[in-house]
Amino acid sequence: MIIISPEVQQALDANLPIVALESTIISHGMPWPQNAITAKLVEDEVRKNGAVPATIAIRDGKCLVGLRDEDIDYLGQTPDVWKVSLRDMPYIIAKKLTGATTVAATMRIASMAGIKIFATGGIGGVHRGATETMDISADLTEMAHTNVAIVAAGVKSILDIGLTLEYLETSGIPVVTYGQDAFPSFYSSKSGFQSPLRMDTPQELASLLEAKWDLGLNGSVLIANPVPKEFEMEQEAIEVHILNALKEADKLHIKGKEVTPFLLKAIAEHTHGESLEANIALIKNNAKIASQIAVALHQKL
């Protein structure tokens, strides 16, 4: 059911630092060929910073830990690839289908393979209007149970960031922002919320992870890594585009797991690609910091 690539298996056998990467960015986050190019650049960023990349997806009912270039190209070009969260995994595997894994599914498969660090763009969370719709991402419930730390550019700005932070606190998930006091919001280094915790080096973050798991405190740590300054967008400007995209989604009756890719695509179009450029920059930056943390954690073990 799980197929681990030779590169990742060798790293596991030698106890080398490894960084898991998700695949929804390939199938649902960006257009072809930018999606495949970005996925390969992110893997290169991991290698450049001393770790081994393990991009995760499901193909023909098998969980792949470490993708070949042809797998990445296939996911990037094939229409109607499933967006797979936890609830979908048994169905996709039983039916021998192909799917790109969300944060929750990627975490679970990474944990099954023995990988502790995961880099993504932004996590899912409590959606705007969740008091009416109860739309809360499975990413949050998975983070409460699975011992895989996530490096992300905060919470996706299309979500209700305040409620997501409250949910994380209730679940006992530490939220640590790297290098600043403000909690970031994906495209922007600011969100209007202060970060619950702050740390300034990969070594400090590795020590926190070691302490958490040594204490038997199961679950993830959200390491919020702000988008690089030169690529960040004004919070107020992006909010206008988000509100317009939400209205459009409501008008078209777009619901559930289709909401996030629709909103990201609409925002990219309305910002003339500026948000896509920021998205690529922040994912590469997250891969860099995640690799440095993985190396620091490896040195402690």
Distance in angstroms (rounded) separating the CA atoms of residues 10 and 15: 8
Distance in angstroms (rounded) separating the CA atoms of residues 171 and 293: 23
In the DSSP assignment, the letter for residue 226 is P
Among the listed residues 150, 148, 239, the one whose alpha carbon sits nearest the alpha carbon of residue 191: 239
Cis ω before 33 (30° cut-off from 0):
yes
> Which residues are part of the catalytic machinery?
22, 156
Q: Following DSSP, what letter does each residue of 142-157 receive, concatenated?
A: HHTT---EEEESBB-T
CA distances from 10 to 4, 43, 71, 147 (A): 10, 16, 20, 22
